[in-house]
Structure 1
C-alpha cells in the first residue's frame, strides 16, 4: 500500500479510478506533494516553485479539485488569487477495484511511480544538502535506516499498523506547529516483502 498520511480522525480515503486518473500526471503529483508538505498554496506560488506558468498550475489545480483531492481555503484569498489546500486525512493510492481495468492499472502505476520518484529525489537532495549545508542539529535529528528480518504477512501487517499509529499521533499533535526552529519534516516508513531467494537467480 502506498499512501500519503496527514493524520486525522477520519478514515483513510482510497482513491477511486476517477481520482487516480486526475492525479496521474507528473506535475499534478508534484503539486499535490507540495500542498501535502508545505500547506496552502496559490497557482502563482506553485508556478514559481515548479518553473511553470500560473495558467498551467491553475488548470491542474482545478483538475485536482474536481475530484476533491484538494479544496479551496475558506476565507483566504480573493477572486483573482485563490488559495488551495490538501484535505486532512490519509490517502491510499492502492485501489483493488481500479486495478481491474487497464486504465485503472495505468493510472495507478503513474501515480505510484511519480510519488516514489519524487520521494527518492527529495531524499537524494537532502543527502546532498546534508553533506554541505545542513546544521549539526539536523544531522543528529535525521534517521535514514534500513533493517531486514523474517516475518509472516500477519506480523508485517501488525508492524505497519504500529508504525502508522506512531506517525499519525505525531502528525496530529504537530500539524499546525509554528515557531523558531520548526521545519517541514517528511516521515517515511517502508515495510514490504523482498523477493524470494529463488527469484533473485
Structure 2
C-alpha cells in the first residue's frame, strides 16, 4: 500500500499581502519571526537597529495582511508579542503576478529574503574558518551537479519538500523546549543557465 504525502497548503500571497511585504524592514521582521519565533517590537528593534516605534508600525502593517499575528495571552498592553502565521507562504499567485507592479514587488521581496539568508550562510562559513576548534557537526553545506529531465527535477523537488515538511511539522510548537536552537533549512534545485554565467 503506497502512502500518500499530505500536500502542503501554502498561502499564495495576493497583491495586498505582497505590497505590504515589499519593504526591506518588513521582510527582515517577517524573516526574524520565521527563524527565531515570537518577538516584541522592542526585541525586533534591538535585532534590526531600528526604533521600536518603526518596528511597531511595520508589524501592524504586516498584521493587517494576516502575515503575522499578535499573541493575545502573552505580554501586556505596553509590550505586545508577535508571531508569524502558521501557513507557509508562496509567491506564485498567478493573479498577483499578472501585474508588472506586483512582479516588481515580488522580486524585491525575494531579493531581500535571499540576500539575508546568503549573509547568514557566509557568516556561518566565516566563523567556522575563523574558529577551527569550534565543533559544528550539526551543519551541512553541500552542492551536487547532475543532469536531469524536467520530470526528474520535479520528482526530486517533491521528495526534498516532503523531508523538509516533515521536519517542520515535527518541530512546530516545540520552540520553547530546552536545547532547541534556531536552524535554517535551505534546499536549492534549479537549472543552471545555458551560457554558464553565474551572474
In the superposition, the TM-score normalised over structure 2's length comes to 0.89
Partner of 1:191: 189
Shift of 1:30: 0.7
Match of 1:74 among 72, 75, 81: 72
Contact 1:16 1:95 in 2 (8 A): yes
Shift of 1:89: 2.2
Of structures 1 and 2, the one with the larger relative CO (CA 8 A, separation 6+) is: 1
Match of 2:157 among 157, 160, 164: 160
Q: Deviations over 1:20-72 (max 9, x none)?
A: 11000111111111000110001000001110100000000000001000011
Q: Deviations over 1:155-174 (max 9, x none)?
A: 21111111011111112112
Contact 2:128 2:134 in 1 (8 A): no
Contact 1:93 1:111 in 2 (8 A): no
Q: Does 1:179 align with 2:173?
A: no
Contact 1:42 1:82 in 2 (8 A): yes
Shift of 1:141: 2.1
**Which ranges of 4 or more aligned residues in structure 1 deviate by more than 6 Å?**
none
In the superposition, the TM-score normalised over structure 1's length comes to 0.88
Q: What is the aligned residue count?
A: 191
